[in-house]
Amino acid sequence: MKFLQLFGRLKSAIIGMVHVRALPGSPGGGLPVAQIVEEACKEAEIYRKAGIDGLIVENMHDIPYTLNIGPEVTASMAAVCAAVRQICPNLPIGVQILACANQQALAVAHAVGLDFIRAEGFVFSHVADEGMVNACAGDLLRYRKAIGAERVQIFTDIKKKHSSHALTADVPISETAKAAEFFLSDGLILTGVATGHEADHRELQEVQRSVRIPVLIGSGVTVDNVKTYMDANGLIIGSYFKDGGDWRNAVNYDKVMAFMDKVNELRT
């Protein structure tokens, strides 16, 4: 499996979030790109030293998000990701560009040698806090083929957080998962209703029974509940690793170390 080849394990791969500071053009922006790169690299280095299994670089501070990002965002994220790749040459690294800038994320990943992207809106339309999001699988995979980026895996959110799924209320999460698998997703991501909120373990089990591709948890994992999710293929963690459990704050090395100690204990 591609997931096993990438992370070296099939279960409980721990993936830390590098939350990039507000980029040029965003309402909270103002830092020079060089400083943004430096801060992202510091976070990545903390994760690497703590023995994390992988990273995702994300422009989380670019609030409020837009479905029409400018070229300055793609260019800045490429600079950040290239630097993070350089200091973590052997670590699996992915990128997500908010909001729903999946083709741009693929371009960045391909250009700087990242391993995967996290994609929103892969199958089924939904209403996000940024607006209406339509399915992108067909266009996204054709774009991946066109630029020769087939080695970059695409992990896809289903019934994602910060969104209304009333349009597809008659489509259970198991059927959504099957549709994403049928449309050639490399892995599925389950979340709670918002950043930092726990995913439903019953949904994890339901989706795992429905598909044969990896299933990851994308929000709400802590040292206290991680045992519940150890049967997931991967755990994407951001808020818990930050000071005070707030994604806006700095990564706390001691929290990451304590978490990894707990995970390694559970693995054995």
Q: Are 62 and 26 in contact (CB under 8 A)?
A: yes
As a whole number of angstroms, the distance between CA 78 and CA 86 comes to: 12
Q: Class of 11-267 per CATH? A: alpha beta
Rounded average pLDDT over 101-121: 97
State the pLDDT confidence band at 170, using cuts at 50, 70 and 90.
Answer: confident
Q: Where are the domains of the chain?
A: 11-267
Q: Distance between CA atoms of 246 and 267, rounded to whole angstroms?
A: 27
Looking at residue 125, its pLDDT comes to: 84
The pLDDT score that the predictor gives to residue 159 is: 78
Given this model, what pLDDT does residue 135 score? Answer: 92
The CA distance from 177 to 184, in Å, is 11
pLDDT of residue 155: 98
Helices within the chain (DSSP H only): 2-7, 33-49, 71-87, 102-112, 137-146, 173-182, 201-210, 253-267
* CB 238 within 8 Å of CB 205: no
Q: What is the mean pLDDT of residues 244-267?
A: 96
The pLDDT value recorded for residue 1 is 83
Mean pLDDT of 119-131: 86
**pLDDT number for residue 127:** 82
Judged on CB neighbours under 10 Å (0-12, 13-18, 19+), 64 is exposed
Phi, psi of 247 (to 5 degrees): -60, -20
**What is the chain's mean pLDDT, rounded?**
93
Q: Which pLDDT belongs to residue 12?
A: 97
* 131-166 residue pLDDT tens: 788 899 999 999 999 999 999 999 999 977 566 666
Question: Looking at residue 204, what is its pLDDT?
Answer: 93
Which one, of 226, 215, 164, lies nearest residue 190 by Cα? 215
pLDDT at site 128: 81
Cα–Cα distance, 30 to 198 (Å, whole number): 33
Beta partners for residue 153, in sequence order: 116
pLDDT, tens digit (0-9, with 9 covering 90-100), for 15-71: 999 999 999 999 999 999 999 999 999 999 999 999 999 999 999 999 999 999 999
